[in-house]
Amino acid sequence: MAVAVIMKLRLDKYLTEMGCGTRSQVKKEILKGSVSVNGEIAKKAERKVDTEKDEIIFKGEKIFYAGYEYFMLNKPAGVVSATEDKKERTVIDLIKESKRKDLFPAGRLDKDTEGLLLITNDGQLAHRLLSPKKHVDKEYYVRVAGRLTEADSAAFAAGLHLDDGLVCQPAELRVMTSGEESEAYVILREGKFHQIKRMLAYLGKPVLYLERVRMGNLLLDPVLERGAYRLLTKEEWQALAKLTEETGKPRNFNKKESDFLLKKEKTSCNPTK
């Protein structure tokens, strides 16, 4: 889902934010007559434009403004949850079809952990999703070495105090299979460093595989291949906003932009390998 915040911006800032070039490059194109506003050639970079009402054409292409973008990513192993890294490939590197250049992962998954990750530039929503005060569930599928028992589930429910000093809030451990290797679902309402791995290691059941499948009411789309992503639907975004009691700056859906993005909203995108 891409959401437009109605505001007035300098024309050069508008174009820069939408990835048309650096501020200096955009200014040069304006001086060359490559930019029009509502059918008229723009002459000044500092001209104010309305992000909702004005039609901006840049070098023959209509440029729609996206104030906020929300992507569901099925994170693969081997990729780090960061905006940039000098040595490692990041989750942002996987997002190829974005208007915004200020995206970040809402929370993090370990390099070897897979599954649901929300990529956005909406800091307020991300904060509310991740704040322990909001008690937003994060659900994970886990496979461990060793036999998970009812006693392990009870320990999770009571809250663990680990040997390394980490105090864990009560959590849910739903055992699915139990044997030499066991499978379960874990539901947390916090997200401390390596928390699930540390909790299960404390119980003598080291994690072999970990995948996040849900954040609040946002479920990992089962049709998304590992490493693929798509825009959130309008319904998914609204459900997340309602869940976290979003009360900040009003967001209005840009009709022009919604029509333009309609075909993309339910389409998965495979990253360039």
Q: Report in angstroms the alpha-carbon separations of 236 from 28, 129, 239.
A: 40, 14, 5
Q: Which helix (H) or strand (E) holds 239?
A: helix 234-243
Q: What is the C-alpha separation between 42 and 49, in angstroms, rounded?
A: 11
Which residues, at least 6 apart from 123, have a Cβ–Cβ distance to it below 8 Å? none
- Verify whether residue 110 is a known catalytic residue: yes
- Which of 50, 110, 112, 152 is labelled catalytic? 110
Closest of 64, 93, 94 to residue 268, by C-alpha = 94
Cβ proximity of 228 and 269 under 8 Å? yes
Q: Report in angstroms the alpha-carbon separations of 264 from 25, 215, 229.
A: 29, 22, 11
Catalytic residues: 110
